[in-house]
Amino acid sequence: MEDNGVFLVIGLIAGGLFLLWIILYFIPIGLWFQALVSDVKISLIQLILMRWRKVPPSIIVSAMIEGRKAGIDLQRDLLEAHYLAGGRVAQVVHALVSASKANIDLTFKIATAVDLAGRDVFEAVQMSVNPKVIDTPPVAAMAKDGIQLIAKARVTVRANIKRLVGGAGEETILARVGEGIVSSIGSSTSHKAVLENPDSISKVVLEKGLDSGTAFEILSIDIADIDVGKNIGAVLQIDQADADLKIAQAKAEERRAMAVASEQEMKALAQEMKAKVIEAEANVPLAMAEAFRSGNLGVMDYYKMKNIEADTQMRESIAKPDDKKNSRKNF
C-alpha cells in the first residue's frame, strides 16, 4: 500500500508539472510580464492567440520592445502579418532602428517590402551609412592606335533605400562600369594618353549615370590598376596580310592550273593534227597508185617529182647544217 501511495504521488507531481508546462506554453506569462515592464501594451489574450495563429510571441514581443526603446511605434498586427508572409521581423526592426539613428527616411512599409523582396534591409541601411567598395574584374579594351589596355576599377557605392525594391544589383553595376571603361578607352586616340591620365576614364564613366535603375548610388569610380596588353592592331594587320597572301596564292595556283590545262589541251590538239598529217601522208601512195592505174601520172612525171623532192631535201640540209651536227652528236 505504501508503494502504491508513492507511485500515486509521483504521478500527480508529473501530471501537475506537465499541466503547468502546457499552461505556461499557451499562456506566456513571462513574455507578458516582460512586455508590461517595457511599457509595451499587449494583453495576455493576444499572446495566447498568437500561439494559435502559429506566430511565435517571443519574436513579436522582442520586436515591439526594441522599437519602443528606440522611439518607433510598431503595430502588433503588422508585425504578425509580416511574419506570416515569410518576412524576417527581427531584421526589419533592426533596420528601422539603425535608420532612425542615422536620420535615414525608412518607413515600415518600405522596410517590409525590401525584406519580402529577398534583400537584407539591415545590410542595406548599413551600406547607406558606410558605403561599400566593389572591385571590378580586369576589363580589356583597345585604343584607336591598336594597343590593348587592361584596367581594374574600384567602385564606391551607397545603397539607395527607395530603389531597393525592383532595382538592379551589383552585377549590373559591374557590367555598366566595364562597358563604360571599354567605351572610354576605345574613344582615346592613343593608349599613352590613357596611361598619362587614367582619371579621365573615371570622369567619362561617372558622367554616364550608370546607377540609374539600380539599387545603389555610385559615389566614385577609381582606376586601381591599368596594364598594357597586346598590340591588337598589329596582330590584326598580320592576320589580314596572311589572309591576303593565302588568297593571292590560291588565285596564282588557279591560274597555274588553268595554264597547265591549256598546255595539255594544246599538246593534245598538236597530236591530233599530227595524226591527221600522218593519215594524209598514208593516203599519198594510194593516190599515186590510183593515178598510175588511171593514166593520170606517168613514169617521167614520177621521176621529176622525186628529183624535186631530192633537190628540196638538199637545199634544206644546206640551209640547216646545225641540225645535222646535233643529230650526229646524238648518235
pTM confidence score: 0.53
Q: How confident is the model at residue 331 (pLDDT cuts 50, 70, 90)?
A: very low
pLDDT tens digits, 266-288: 888 888 888 888 877 777 777 77
pLDDT for res 328: 52
Cell numbers found for residue 190: 592613343
pLDDT tens digits, 226-250: 888 777 777 777 878 888 888 888 8
Alpha helix (H) residue ranges in the chain: 2-26, 29-37, 44-52, 57-69, 76-84, 89-101, 108-116, 121-129, 170-186, 191-196, 199-206, 232-294, 299-319, 321-330
Strand, helix or coil for residue 220: strand
* Percentage of the chain exceeding pLDDT 90: 0
Task: Please give the average per-residue pLDDT across 196-218, as a whole number.
Answer: 78
- CA 276 to CA 86: how far, in whole Å? 104
Question: With contact defined as beta carbons under 8 Å apart, do 151 and 141 qualify?
Answer: yes
Q: How confident is the model at residue 321 (pLDDT cuts 50, 70, 90)?
A: low
Q: What amino acid occupies position 78?
A: L
